[in-house]
Amino acid sequence: LSLDSVTNAIFDVSGKLFGLKYRKVDVQAYHPDVTVYEVRKEEGGEDRLVSLFLADNYARQFKSSGAWMSEYRSQTKNIAPGTDEIEKIPIVSNNNNFAKGSGSTLLSFDDGSTLFHEMGHGHHGMLSDATFGTLASTSVLKDFVELPSQLMEHWFEEPRVLKEHARHHETGEPVPDELIERLKAASVFNEGFATVEYTACALYDMAVHSLSDYDNFDLAEFEKEYLQEIGMVQGIVMRHRPAHFAHLFASSSYAAGYYVYQWAQVLDNDVYAAFEETGD
């Protein structure tokens, strides 16, 4: 899979779901690798600017690791009289750390899922329709915030999307039906392991944030004792060990809320099932 083909797939799905159109604009961003798009939507015969979207996909020195959505300006309707209306328009950025290729930048299937996941957050920011910026975009209860992102992942796994966009980067040959079936079968491989390593993190998160006394606190000892308490299966470790559990300690955003990814799985599967039931 090439980054270009997965990006085209995202824009195609985004257009079909939300009527959004992406137009690359020639403006200078904060780094040459960043691509800037105008996001527009036809409404009532008017071609309306919805958002500016920045795609910052490549790894580089000093860039934070991982993948995330951020905003340089959140959507709002609460602007002072006389302020330019452009101040209402969100500026949304999706950030990844793909290794930039000399030709096509190639992605794994997991990379493609990540691109779709972050675009779900991007939609959340771009399509926000709140009065106040503090309540706009992803400024929602954590029980909900991972629903749009995980919902988008379903469309990357949709055979119709894969047949149209998952093409060999040199020959243009579409992905064979047999490989799509194998990908579907492999999606549940090791699911028990993955569920245990994630659930252990979610439970640990709640436990460590429930403490009221941190005098003489030993993080490693607390981890060891707590995993024994919950009966952690030998041979499986937490997906994120406490010392590098950035979701919990880089900010307060996901503190005592790491469980939301698992909770959002219930929601996103229900929502996607509603799409499937329509037959379209």
pLDDT at 247: 80
Residue 44's pLDDT band (boundaries 50, 70, 90)? Answer: confident
Rounded CA separation 31/11 (Å): 22
Strands 35-43 and 46-58 come out as antiparallel
Give the mean pLDDT of 182-206: 93
Q: What is the distance of C-alpha 47 from the center of its chain?
A: 27
Give the mean pLDDT of 243-263: 84
Q: Are 59 and 98 in contact (CB under 8 A)?
A: yes
- Whether the per-residue pLDDT at 250 is higher than 90: the answer is no
- Whether the per-residue pLDDT at 252 is higher than 90: the answer is no
Rounded CA separation 142/247 (Å): 12
- Whether the per-residue pLDDT at 149 is higher than 90: the answer is yes
Give the mean pLDDT of 49-68: 96
pLDDT at 279: 81
**Average pLDDT over the chain, rounded to an integer:** 94
Residue 244's pLDDT band (boundaries 50, 70, 90)? Answer: confident
Q: Among residues 71, 118, 146, 223, which one is catalytic? A: 118
If phi > 0 it is left, if psi is from -120 to 50 it is alpha, else beta; for residue 29 that is beta
Give the mean pLDDT of 96-109: 93
Residue 251's pLDDT band (boundaries 50, 70, 90)? Answer: confident
b/e 182-210 (16+ beta carbons within 10 angstroms → b): eeeeeeeeeeeeeebbbbbbbbbbebbee
- Known catalytic residue: 164? no
pLDDT at 77: 96
pLDDT at 280: 74
Q: Are 128 and 90 in contact (CB under 8 A)?
A: yes
DSSP label of 138: T
Residue 241's pLDDT band (boundaries 50, 70, 90)? Answer: confident
**pLDDT above 90: percentage of residues in the chain:** 84
Query: Which residues face 174 on adjacent strands?
Result: 167
**pLDDT above 70: percentage of residues in the chain:** 100
Residue 56's pLDDT band (boundaries 50, 70, 90)? Answer: very high
Angle at 88 between CA 84 and CA 90, to 5 degrees: 130
